């Protein structure tokens, strides 16, 4: 795998693939790679001729400077992991390469960014995400870009900008990858102390509680949210939000009339974690919903 740091070098590295009409897959990351990222790289490897992994800790999407400063960085390890997972090119630009002097453009998706993560992290968060993703797509011009379901609201935002800007690529969303005990893999998990790591299992407990109620036939959004909140409370965790939303618009659902997404965010110590699970309406006596603690969902 080659590592390139400028847009010109990235385009030069991909030029032979374009001339040969090969498919290019992009896996955008902020580094600190874990099995969740590697599953995206392996999916891209299976579906594309050339796989690009971007490694850029985007300062524009952090609402707190301390959060940016504490974000784990380990390029040498990331390069090794990406290589073994099947990447062909690592694009690791500097901040000045992505945002050169005089940079004065922002991409903003309206509506879906107003709630939940947008409200919790500030108006600049999704603007920063949308801007850097648009830049990465323009720099690499992939046929497919791969994202994880754990960042569900981000996925909806990116799909919206791709559709609205008529960008010629496919967005592939891949399942959340979990630890054996159900905790969704995240670069932020490394910040948790052993005691905090145990409390963080409240997220998987909450999702399973709601999935269990849905599997029993419960369709009230309030009851499903209450079940999740009770599971969080049992581990002494207070949520920033717990909500049942439409998976395409992130508008709140009054009930489980069709497939919906239970989303939640919590803060464990100084670490903020998010997770989600798809809920489907069930009649009493039908098989239970998938257990987030035991499966990749």
* 110 has a pLDDT exceeding 70: yes
Domain extent, residue 253, equals 187-279
Residues 125, 158 within the same domain: yes
Instruction: Answer for the pair 42, 53: CB distance below 8 angstroms, yes or no.
Output: no
- Domain limit, last residue, from 153, 174, 195: 174
Q: How confident is the model at residue 294 (pLDDT cuts 50, 70, 90)?
A: low
SS3 assignment, position 166:
coil
Residue 286 lies in a domain: no
Residues 134, 209 within the same domain: no
Predicted confidence at residue 286, as pLDDT, reads 42
For residue 242, the cross-strand partners are 264
Residues 138, 12 within the same domain: yes
CA distances from 153 to 72, 236, 248, 271, 274 (A): 23, 26, 9, 19, 10
Between CA 20 and CA 27, with CA 25 as vertex, the angle to 5 degrees is 150
* 296 has a pLDDT exceeding 60: no
Residues 77, 113 within the same domain: yes
Residues 191, 268 within the same domain: yes
Question: Of all residues in the chain, what percent carry a pLDDT higher than 70?
Answer: 95
* 287 has a pLDDT exceeding 70: no
Place of tokens 């599997």: 215
Residues 163, 193 within the same domain: no
Residues 154, 75 within the same domain: yes
Residue 297 lies in a domain: no
Rounded CA separation 221/252 (Å): 9
Residues 48, 136 within the same domain: yes
| Count of structural domains, the chain | 2
Rounded CA separation 297/284 (Å): 22
37 is catalytic: yes
Residues 83, 220 within the same domain: no
* CATH code for the domain of 53: 3.40.50.620
Q: What is the mean pLDDT of residues 213-235?
A: 97
Predicted confidence at residue 290, as pLDDT, reads 54
Residues 104, 196 within the same domain: no
Residues 78, 200 within the same domain: no
In the set 37, 125, 135, 188, the catalytic residue is: 37
Residue 119 lies in a domain: yes
Residue 104 lies in a domain: yes
Q: How confident is the model at residue 288 (pLDDT cuts 50, 70, 90)?
A: very low
For residue 252, the cross-strand partners are 245
Residue 161 lies in a domain: yes
SS3 assignment, position 75:
helix
Rounded CA separation 35/290 (Å): 21
Q: How confident is the model at residue 64 (pLDDT cuts 50, 70, 90)?
A: confident
Place of tokens 């499966």: 295
Residues 130, 274 within the same domain: no
Predicted confidence at residue 199, as pLDDT, reads 97
Taking residue 168's Cβ as centre, other Cβ atoms within 10 Å add up to 9
Contacts of 95 (CB under 8 A, 6+ apart): 59
Q: What letter does residue 67 receive in the DSSP assignment? A: H
* CATH code for the domain of 228: 3.30.1300.10
| 155-189 confidence digits (pLDDT tens) | 999 999 999 999 999 999 999 999 999 999 998 99
């Amino acid at each position: 795998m080659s590592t390139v740091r400028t847009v010109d070098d990235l385009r030069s590295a991909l030029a032979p693939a374009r001339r040969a009409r090969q498919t290019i897959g992009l896996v955008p990351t902020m580094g600190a790679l874990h099995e969740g990222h590697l599953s995206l790289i392996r999916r891209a490897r299976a579906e594309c001729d050339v796989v690009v992994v971007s490694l850029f800790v985007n300062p524009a999407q952090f609402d707190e400077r301390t959060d940016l400063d504490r974000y784990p960085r380990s390029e040498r390890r990331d390069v090794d992991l990406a290589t073994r997972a099947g990447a062909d090119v690592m694009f690791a630009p500097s901040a000045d390469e992505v945002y050169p002097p005089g940079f004065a453009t922002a991409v903003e998706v309206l509506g879906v960014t107003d709630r939940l993560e947008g409200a919790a992290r500030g108006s600049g968060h999704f603007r920063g995400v949308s801007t850097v993703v648009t830049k990465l797509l323009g720099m690499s011009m992939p046929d497919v870009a791969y994202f994880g379901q754990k960042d569900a609201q981000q996925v909806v935002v990116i799909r919206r900008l791709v559709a609205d800007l008529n960008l010629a690529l496919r967005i592939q969303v891949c399942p959340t990858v979990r630890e054996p005990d159900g905790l969704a893999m995240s670069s932020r998990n490394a910040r948790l102390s052993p005691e905090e790591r145990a409390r963080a299992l409240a997220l998987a407990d909450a999702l399973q509680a709601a999935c269990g109620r849905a599997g029993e036939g419960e369709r009230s959004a309030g009851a499903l949210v209450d079940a999740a909140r009770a599971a969080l409370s049992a581990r002494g965790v207070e949520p920033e939000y717990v909500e049942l939303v439409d998976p395409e618009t992130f508008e709140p659902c009054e009930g489980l009339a069709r497939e919906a997404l239970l989303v939640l965010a919590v803060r464990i110590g100084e670490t903020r974690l998010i997770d989600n699970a798809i809920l489907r309406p069930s009649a009493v006596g039908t098989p239970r919903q998938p257990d987030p603690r035991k499966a990749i969902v």
